[in-house]
Amino acid sequence: MHLPKPKLVIDTNTNVIFAEPYFRWGIIEEDPDDNKFADLALSATADAMVTFDKHFSVFKNLPFPTLNIVHPKKFGTFMAKWS
């Protein structure tokens, strides 16, 4: 059986930022594997993280670092603030 080679996609759009977490916060204790996403969002100074994952709700009670957690159903409302 011959499988096709996987395609390598390199996105060169001007609105894409490639980032590497520069600090490991370890904020999400209930599911430590989620920290890689939180750390990257914080390092990239993301305006928000869109997720169904309830483990990220820990950010709602933190004074620092700040990260808006947006449920996918509320993403449109969140984006309306920017237009």
Instruction: Return the C-alpha torsion angle 22, 38, 8, 15, nearest 10.
Output: -80
Q: Is residue 83 very low, low, confident or very high in pLDDT (cuts 50, 70, 90)?
A: confident
Task: Name the residue among 37, 10, 35 with its Cα closest to residue 25.
Answer: 35
- Cβ-based neighbour number of residue 5 at 10 Å: 5
Domain layout of the chain by residue ranges: 32-80
What residues does 50 pair with on adjacent strands? Answer: 70
- Higher pLDDT pick, 6 / 83: 83
Phi–psi pair at 57, nearest 5 degrees: -65, -15
pTM for this model (two decimals): 0.74
What are the tens digits of pLDDT across the range 7-66? 555 666 777 777 888 899 999 999 999 999 999 999 999 989 999 999 999 999 999 999
Phi–psi pair at 44, nearest 5 degrees: -85, 5
Residue 18 is predicted with a pLDDT of 79
